[in-house]
Amino acid sequence: MQFSQIIEVVKIVLECLIVGLGWVFVRRLEQIKSEVASHSDFNQKWADLFFNASNALMVSVEHIMTYAFLLISDKDEKSPKRMEWQEEMNKALDILVENRYRIDRLAVLAASNGPVTQKAADDLFNSVRELFNSKRINLIELRDKTDTFNRAVREAHSEMIASRGNTK
């Protein structure tokens, strides 16, 4: 075998080796991309559940505040609207309780901001419970607690979406 033939054989072997390594590299890259997409889908789905529960909780608080205000403002104890308002307020309370527990379950996916959100949800929930017990409403206090809750939810939701799976 001549030197030029040996060079040609080495070139072919090197080209095959480079193509093979390139193929292995591309396959691994595609696998990593697939894993990242799958993890991202998981994060997005759970973050969406958290967002929906938080939104439902907020809507129920708004309904409770509205019906409590109407009930407190209506001085006619025999008003036919009172029973309807009380019924609607009770339905909103059921939704509030259900979503309060859902938020607790989902907030653990935000390791840093989840506990802050859980505390804000507890504070808001306890204020609403106090409203039911005392039949008095402090709109400013409730508004402040809803604002605190909303800010905490925003941070926890962002953390869930960006999460790399590092929950406690």
29 occurs within a structural domain: no
23 occurs within a structural domain: no
98 occurs within a structural domain: yes
pTM for the whole structure = 0.72
101 occurs within a structural domain: yes
Out of 83-92, 97-106, 132-141, least confident range: 132-141
128 occurs within a structural domain: yes
Summary mean pLDDT of the chain: 85
15 occurs within a structural domain: no
Q: The domain containing residue 135 runs over which residues?
A: 42-162
150 occurs within a structural domain: yes
Out of 63-67, 151-155, 161-165, least confident range: 161-165
pLDDT score recorded for residue 116:
96
pLDDT tens digits, one per residue of 11-38: 787 788 787 777 777 777 777 666 655 5
What angle, 0 to 180 degrees and rounded to 10, lies between the N-to-C axes of helices 139-162 and 3-73?
A: 170
We report the CATH number of the domain holding residue 146 as: 1.20.120
Query: Into how many domains does the chain fold?
Result: 1
pLDDT score recorded for residue 8:
80
pLDDT tens digits, one per residue of 107-153: 998 999 999 999 999 999 999 988 878 877 788 888 899 999 999 99
